[in-house]
Amino acid sequence: MIDVGEKRITKRKAVAKGEVLLSSETIELIREGKIPKGDVLNCARVAAVLAVKRTPELIPMCHPLQITHSKIDFDVGENEIKIKAEVGAVDRTGVEMEALTAVAVAALTIYDMCKAVDKTTEISHIRLLRKTGGRSGDFVRKEG
């Protein structure tokens, strides 16, 4: 791990996004609450929040952080579920990995809950959208 002891404690935020591609039939089962394993989106939201808290246990060089908030949103389309995670902290290093991990674990949870009814499910385009705070400054992805 790098030494962050000399860095200033600042307010930091990161937003990440990803998609899970599913059949329209599976999307309908999710909307109707008919997936055999249960409520897909609520389970994925809880899994994402837990992932934020456990990121340093999963990614070897990540520092444990003082997380101040996490927010996980889903946008259910005709053939996909878009996942967006926002994570904040007041610390010496950023929360990009926590936001990305939240999206990845939410996507994996959706995959796990739907795999029995849809073998074609795909996880796609996990990426950092923006981050604020810290020595390197702000970052905003230009999505076109």
Q: How do residues 47-98 score in pLDDT, each as one tens digit?
A: 999 999 999 999 999 999 999 999 999 999 999 999 999 999 998 888 999 9
| CA atoms of 12 and 36, how far apart (whole Å) | 39
CATH class entry, domain 23-134: alpha beta
What percent helix, strand, coil does the chain show, rounded to 5?
35, 35, 35
Task: Give me 3's structure tokens.
Answer: 């030494």
Per the CB < 8 A criterion, the answer to whether 128 and 99 are in contact is: yes
Choosing from 3, 91, 112, 118, the catalytic residue is: 112
112 is catalytic: yes
Q: Is the overall model pTM greater than 0.85, yes or no? A: yes
Cβ–Cβ < 8 Å for 98, 52: yes
How close are the terminal C-alpha atoms of the chain, in Å? 35
